[in-house]
Amino acid sequence: MANAQPAPWLLLMFSLPAKQASGRVDVWRKLKKYGALPLRTSGYLLPNKPENQERFEWLAAAIRKYNGQACVAQLQAMDDLPSEKLVQLFIQARSKDYETLTREAKKLVGRSKREPGELARLRRRLQEIASIDFFNSPLRGRVEALLERADSIGQSRAIPQSARKTRKQYLNRVWITRPRPGIDRVSSAWLIRRFIDSNSRFVFGNDPQEHPEAIPFDMFQAKGFGHRGDDCTFETLRKEFAIHDSKVNTIAEVIHDADLADEKFGRSEGAGLDRVLIGWAQQGISDDELLRRGMELIEGLYQSLS
């Protein structure tokens, strides 16, 4: 007998004693953070995913500690709310969040001056909303475009189209970078092999003159590709080779914040990747192996992005 398909929804039903006002606020805040949809029956709904199951189970345990009652159930359907309607309600809820963020982003774009960390705060808020945007509200792209526009205001002049590199010049080449590659260098190597030169080979050294045929990247005292202005090497390569891939753009933000630690984009994911690379480097593995593992790590990040 074939395995039955899991129910598409998770339902949390609970009640709390009237005297548990602080507990009620705590529960409400968590439900809002999880993106749970409130129902008229005093229940809350989430799509049936492992991470949502875990959230509801932990929340139910917390409710019981507040002397309340709670249960988590899988739900196949609701008589008065078919799945199509529930999906629309989730989209509407996230669209409202995006609309609020859009208004803030428009104000930021319209101002010539901004407070330190203001753009990073909006980017963090976008990440929070996107993490509970289970059904892909169409307004997300509008907010991302506005924040990209806000970021471009005040930036140093863009690389002219005529100055951008053509990939034909950089095929089947050797690329050189410093030993013990970190987050910016392994991600740059990944970008080179995946989008610029699929047959690229990498060597390590502190003096590019030892490999005059190699193209330097992220070298302190060498021509080639490195930090420019506020950009890390990954961002420089992405712009020079005009790589227009939304997932690469996201990775560029992650790498920038991890490498430069300026919280420009409000991306915290890269810090964990950086610590993994540091841990591997401390194990004494070779530069080649460190680069290989790091590139696989970035490929995993790329594949995980929706």
Residues in the chain, total: 306
- Percent of the chain whose pLDDT exceeds 90: 57
Rg (the chain; Cα; Å): 24
Whether 206 and 178 have beta carbons less than 8 Å apart is answered as yes
Distance from C-alpha of 199 to C-alpha of 188, rounded to nearest angstrom? 15
pTM: 0.59
Work out the average pLDDT over 150-165: 51
| pLDDT at residue 80 greater than cutoff 80 | no
| pLDDT at residue 159 greater than cutoff 80 | no
| Average pLDDT across the chain, whole number | 88
**Residue that wins the pLDDT comparison between 60 and 169:** 60
Distance from C-alpha of 206 to C-alpha of 226, rounded to nearest angstrom? 14
Q: Which domains are seen in the chain, by residue range?
A: 9-75 (3.30.70.240), 84-152 (no CATH), 161-304 (no CATH)
* Per-residue model confidence (pLDDT) at position 241: 92
Q: Which residues pair with 14 in a beta bridge?
A: 70
Tokens of 72: 């988590």
* Per-residue model confidence (pLDDT) at position 111: 77
